[in-house]
């Protein structure tokens, strides 16, 4: 659960160094193109997938759709972060030599608990005006779409929860920048 929560948040922050803004700065923090043009082209192609995906999310309280362009950097960070932390968790289990015991009283695997805590990080309650403010001026997607968007793209999530192919949480098109 710690890997799913704070671990994914740490992964999120690291990924910012390689999002649409972070990628433009070199290791010394100077604004400098240090990628080949072909790499930048590929990056933009992959980012566009996320832009299209998140732009389709409709937030019913405000009646607005998410702005996939304004939120792309945060979405890149969310998608990369949760994946990195999941890989780190699996690596940790591998080094440990066996799966951890499961939590008593809950009928979840440890991998499922990883994802459940990633989702719980973003539990919130938001008023209409706040949604409007967030969606029209913010760089973060509304919390529920930070969860849905990042996990729709993550095959391990669908596998762990047995999501049917082409269902909402296991779409055929999966976006992946990192
Ligand atoms: Zn961020």
Of 20, 24, 42, the closest CA to residue 33 belongs to: 24
Q: Are 135 and 127 in contact (CB under 8 A)?
A: no
Beta bridge partners of 59: 64
CATH of domain 3-161: 3.40.390.10
Q: Are 100 and 110 in contact (CB under 8 A)?
A: yes
Active site residues per annotation: 13, 78
pLDDT of residue 119: 98
| DSSP summary character for residue 65 | E
162: left (phi over 0), alpha (psi -120 to 50) or beta: left
Calculate how far, in angstroms, residue 116's C-alpha sits from the geometric centre of ligand 1: 20
Calculate how far, in angstroms, residue 77's C-alpha sits from the geometric centre of ligand 1: 6
Calculate how far, in angstroms, residue 164's C-alpha sits from the geometric centre of ligand 1: 30
3-state class (DSSP) for residue 124: coil
pLDDT of residue 160: 97
Calculate how far, in angstroms, residue 12's C-alpha sits from the geometric centre of ligand 1: 6
Question: Which pLDDT tens digit goes with each residue over 94-142?
Answer: 999 999 999 999 999 999 999 999 999 999 999 999 999 999 999 999 9
pLDDT of residue 19: 93
In this prediction, the residues of the chain whose per-residue pLDDT falls under 50 are: none
Give the CA distances from residue 56 to residues 53, 64, 65, 81, 96, in Å, rounded to whole numbers and listed in that order.
Answer: 6, 10, 7, 22, 41
pLDDT of residue 97: 97
């Amino acid at each position: 659960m710690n890997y799913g929560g704070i671990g994914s948040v740490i992964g999120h922050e690291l990924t910012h160094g390689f999002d649409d803004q972070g990628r433009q700065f070199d290791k010394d923090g100077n604004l400098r193109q240090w990628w080949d043009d072909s790499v930048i082209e590929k990056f933009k192609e992959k980012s566009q997938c996320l832009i299209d995906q998140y732009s389709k999310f409709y937030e019913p309280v405000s009646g607005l759709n998410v702005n996939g362009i304004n939120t792309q950097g945060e979405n890149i960070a969310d998608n990369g972060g949760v994946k990195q932390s999941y890989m780190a968790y699996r690596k940790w289990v591998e080094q440990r030599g066996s799966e951890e015991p499961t939590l008593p009283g809950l009928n979840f695997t440890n991998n499922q608990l990883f994802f459940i805590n990633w989702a719980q990080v973003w539990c919130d309650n938001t008023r209409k005006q706040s949604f409007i403010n967030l969606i029209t001026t913010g760089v973060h997607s509304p919390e529920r779409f930070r969860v849905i968007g990042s996990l729709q793209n993550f095959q391990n999530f669908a596998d762990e929860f047995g999501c049917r192919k082409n269902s909402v949480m296991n779409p055929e098109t999966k976006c992946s920048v990192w």
